């Protein structure tokens, strides 16, 4: 016999954004259930792989800066509240050609919001961090106050908060269907339980389009790879070396210093393979380019970190068609809120996005201007 359960808010997808939203809602004594097909943190989502960058002078658009500043504050609060290691201030340097639009946007964002940002020549970069090889026409934009978010620790910490404040977490339970036409509330069907909720938040990442097929969301789940490489500690340990982003002429790399002897980590923000998320497995090495693409970045910019591959992993990006986030109410039913298409640069916003989603569920609006993320910007 199928069981039934009734909640104020049901969150479908308890990963990065969903778990944070659940913690904010439960803390405000909202009867909340989080439903996930796996058991976060896990290897099947966009949070997999231990670490994510947090940058403040935002090259993807200065409109993100107020959000990332609040996100930084909330990550630090989460660390203080739970005792989990969430943030590591390594600094982040972004490298690219002098005329790079990404770097120019970073500089403009720093000027608009009075953010500390050092502009360095290629020689200054190599002198400060000899582990880099920098083309003559490159400059660097260095943010000393930014760094690393430990992604899986962060999700565990929000999970701990959500459960401590009374949220219900239902794991290994894929949602089969969302029905907006039931008189008891929004009906969420799983294999063994039917959930009813006054409000629903869909934060299912790569599965969002499958759960909301009527919206024709302009998103594409994409398989991405990253790896850790043996690297000399005197050059690449976190005490000596920053996190980084490199805008190559045809590729974009990001990475992290060696943390506790794990090796230098590098990945690409572009490229990857479009996939069905239900077919995603941990299969680093399936494509010859999995390792060779990463080594291209090492050979060109971090030659002395081009050592033995210690380990390689994959994760999912869910790319929106314009690489900006999609956060909105269902156009036909405001009881349903969805957040998706975080396009490989969303994790750093997980804390503030959880706060925003909780505000949308409780009050129907947020104190932050999220109009730029509206679904109606697309000609669907």
Over residues 245-304, the pLDDT tens digits come to: 999 878 999 999 999 999 999 999 999 999 999 887 779 999 999 999 999 999 999 999
Q: How confident is the model at residue 308, as a pLDDT?
A: 98
- Looking at the structure, do residues 77 and 138 belong to the same domain, yes or no? yes
- Looking at the structure, do residues 233 and 295 belong to the same domain, yes or no? yes
- Looking at the structure, do residues 19 and 133 belong to the same domain, yes or no? no
Distance CA 297, CA 248 (A): 9
Number of domains in the chain: 2
Position 51 in a domain: no
pLDDT grade for 380, boundaries at 50, 70 and 90: low
Position 20 in a domain: yes
Which residue range is the domain that position 78 belongs to? 66-148+220-320
Distance CA 117, CA 109 (A): 10
Position 57 in a domain: no
- Domain termination residue (choose one: 304, 320, 336): 320
| CATH number for position 347 | 3.50.50.60
Position 242 in a domain: yes
pTM of the model: 0.96
- Looking at the structure, do residues 303 and 214 belong to the same domain, yes or no? no
DSSP class per residue in 227-260: EEE---HHHHBTTT--EEEEE-SS-EEEEE-BST
The closest of 234, 238, 233, 244 to 267, measured between CA atoms, is 244
What is the enclosing helix (H) or strand (E) of 328?
strand 326-330
- In degrees, rounded to 5, the angle at the alpha carbon of residue 54 between the alpha carbons of residues 51 and 60 is 125
- Looking at the structure, do residues 214 and 224 belong to the same domain, yes or no? no
- Looking at the structure, do residues 305 and 330 belong to the same domain, yes or no? no
Position 53 in a domain: no
- Domain termination residue (choose one: 275, 297, 320): 320
- Looking at the structure, do residues 143 and 271 belong to the same domain, yes or no? yes
256 forms beta bridges with 265
| CATH number for position 306 | 3.30.9.10
- Looking at the structure, do residues 125 and 32 belong to the same domain, yes or no? no
pLDDT grade for 1, boundaries at 50, 70 and 90: very low
Position 7 in a domain: yes
pLDDT grade for 103, boundaries at 50, 70 and 90: very high
What percentage of residues in the chain have a pLDDT greater than 70? 99
The alpha carbon of residue 339 and the mean position of all alpha carbons in its chain are separated, in whole angstroms, by 12
Beta strands 32-35; 168-170: pairing state:
parallel
Three-state DSSP class for residue 210:
helix
Position 60 in a domain: no
**Tokens representing 198?**
């006054």
- Looking at the structure, do residues 79 and 210 belong to the same domain, yes or no? no
Q: How confident is the model at residue 42, as a pLDDT?
A: 78
- Looking at the structure, do residues 129 and 250 belong to the same domain, yes or no? yes
pLDDT grade for 47, boundaries at 50, 70 and 90: confident
- Looking at the structure, do residues 228 and 302 belong to the same domain, yes or no? yes
- Looking at the structure, do residues 158 and 202 belong to the same domain, yes or no? yes
């Amino acid at each position: 016999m199928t069981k039934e359960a009734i909640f104020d808010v049901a969150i479908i997808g308890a990963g990065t954004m969903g778990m944070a939203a659940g913690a904010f809602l439960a803390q405000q004594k909202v009867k909340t259930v989080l439903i996930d097909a796996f058991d976060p943190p896990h290897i099947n989502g966009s949070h997999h792989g231990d670490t994510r960058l947090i940058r403040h002078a935002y090259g993807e658009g200065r409109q993100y800066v107020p959000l990332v500043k609040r996100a930084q504050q909330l990550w630090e609060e989460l660390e203080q509240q739970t005792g989990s290691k969430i943030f590591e201030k390594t600094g982040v340097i972004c490298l690219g050609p002098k005329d790079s639009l990404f770097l120019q946007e970073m500089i403009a964002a720093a000027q608009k919001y009075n953010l500390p940002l050092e502009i360095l020549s290629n020689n200054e970069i190599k002198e400060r961090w000899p582990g880099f090889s920098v083309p003559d026409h490159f400059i660097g934009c260095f943010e000393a106050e930014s760094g690393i978010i430990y992604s899986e620790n962060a999700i565990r910490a929000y999970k701990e908060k959500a459960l401590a404040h009374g949220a219900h977490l239902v794991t290994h339970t894929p949602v089969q269907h969302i029905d907006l036409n039931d008189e008891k509330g929004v009906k969420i069907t799983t294999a063994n339980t039917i959930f009813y909720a006054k409000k629903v938040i869909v934060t299912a990442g790569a599965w969002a389009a499958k759960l909301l097929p009527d919206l024709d969301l302009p998103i594409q789940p994409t398989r991405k790879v990253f790896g850790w490489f043996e690297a000399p500690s005197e050059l690449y340990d976190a005490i000596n070396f920053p996190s980084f982003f490199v805008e190559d002429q045809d590729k974009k790399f990001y990475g992290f210093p060696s943390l506790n002897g794990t090796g230098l980590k590098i990945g690409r923000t572009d490229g990857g393979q479009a996939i069905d998320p239900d077919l995603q497995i941990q299969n680093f090495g399936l494509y010859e380019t999995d390792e060779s693409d990463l080594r291209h970045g090492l050979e060109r910019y971090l030659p002395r970190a081009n050592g033995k591959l210690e380990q390689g992993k994959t994760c999912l990006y869910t790319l929106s068609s314009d690489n900006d986030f999609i956060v909105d109410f269902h156009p036909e039913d405001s009881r349903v809120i969805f957040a998706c298409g975080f396009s490989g640069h969303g994790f750093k916003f997980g804390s503030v996005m959880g706060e925003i989603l909780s505000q949308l569920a409780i009050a129907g609006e947020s104190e932050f201007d999220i109009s730029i993320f509206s679904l109606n910007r697309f000609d669907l």
